[in-house]
Amino acid sequence: MSVQTQLKRITVPEIRAHKGGAPIVCLTCYHAHTARLLDNHVDLMLVGDSLGMVMHGLETTLGVTLDMMITHAKAVMRGSKRALVTVDMPFGSYEESPAVAFRNAARVIQETGATAIKLEGGTRMAETIHYLTQRGVPVMGHIGLTPQMVHVKGGFRTTGRTEAEWPEILADAHAVSDAGAFAVVLEGMAEPLAAKITREIAIPTIGIGASPACDGQVLVMEDMLGLNPNPPKFVRQYAQLGPAIEAAVQAYAEDVRERRFPGEENVYPMKKAQ
């Protein structure tokens, strides 16, 4: 008799159950090869709209479209079997109304097979979060520094560094949690505020430039692998893939220019005539 192990994806309630327990491990992921490498080690993969900058060289996330998100999310789903995959709703795809948000979120879920979506905004998005979760779309919130607001804020500004800002951000956190989100990203936030939010709300907080008190962390994978020459200051680089890739490409270029083609030697030898 053969014993089969059924690999099942991590579910939304399982992520939700991390609240106050084992920290949630989360990285961004945009393509199939890296999804395969990450899959056994992270709880959650985020197909973030940061892919606009990382993969497509844009200056902000504002130029990212729903089609771009769907293309990358499909690749991540093909490369993974286990981690929960959450897909960012890009700028312009959800703010207009809960119904528009639902139509676009349903497209993401149907076309990619991903489990959940993430959207930016606190109190102002609470009605939409409630509408989506009531209709079968799990939502991850995102408050604090919300990159899609770059022009309104005049830049990528950290939040909560004066106590005067706290009531609004605390209200955002409670609104997202009460509306039914299963987790919330706290980005670019003063440490004591992120810790207070984590203590106060019922859902897990996932920090990025926030606080070690959060219920988990998310990093942009390329930042922690050393592919970004100017990573944010809170990022620990666990590898230096940028310099490693450059050294490998330099060695390859030298080989080719010196007419050394190591892999090409007699790859397909002639067959003897019958």
Binding positions for ligand KIV, rule: CB under 6 A? 28, 46, 48-50, 88, 142, 185, 187, 208, 218, 220
Query: Tokens for 197?
Result: 């939010």
Q: Least Å distance between CB 4 and ligand KIV?
A: 35
Residue placing its CB nearer to ligand KIV in the complex, 233 or 259: 233
Chain residue whose CB lies nearest ligand KIV? 48
Task: Please spell the DSSP secondary structure of 214-226, one letter per residue.
Answer: SSEEEE-HHHHTT
Backbone φ and ψ of 245, nearest 5°: -65, -45
Residue placing its CB nearer to ligand KIV in the complex, 41 or 260: 41
Q: Which of 95, 6, 86, 101 is nearest to 42 (CA)?
A: 86
Centroid of chain to Cα 34: 13
* Residue written as token pair 């030898």: 269
Residue placing its CB nearer to ligand KIV in the complex, 48 or 98: 48
Mark whether 95 is an active-site residue.
no
Q: Least Å distance between CB 48 and ligand KIV?
A: 2
Residue placing its CB nearer to ligand KIV in the complex, 34 or 267: 34
For residue 56, count other CB atoms closer than 10 A to its CB.
12
Catalytic residue among 187, 200, 254, 265: 187
Whether 128 and 101 have beta carbons less than 8 Å apart is answered as yes
Q: Least Å distance between CB 148 and ligand KIV?
A: 9
For residue 178, count other CB atoms closer than 10 A to its CB.
14
DSSP state of 7: -
Q: Least Å distance between CB 205 and ligand KIV?
A: 12
**Strands 139-144 and 205-208: what pairing?**
unpaired
Residues labelled catalytic: 187
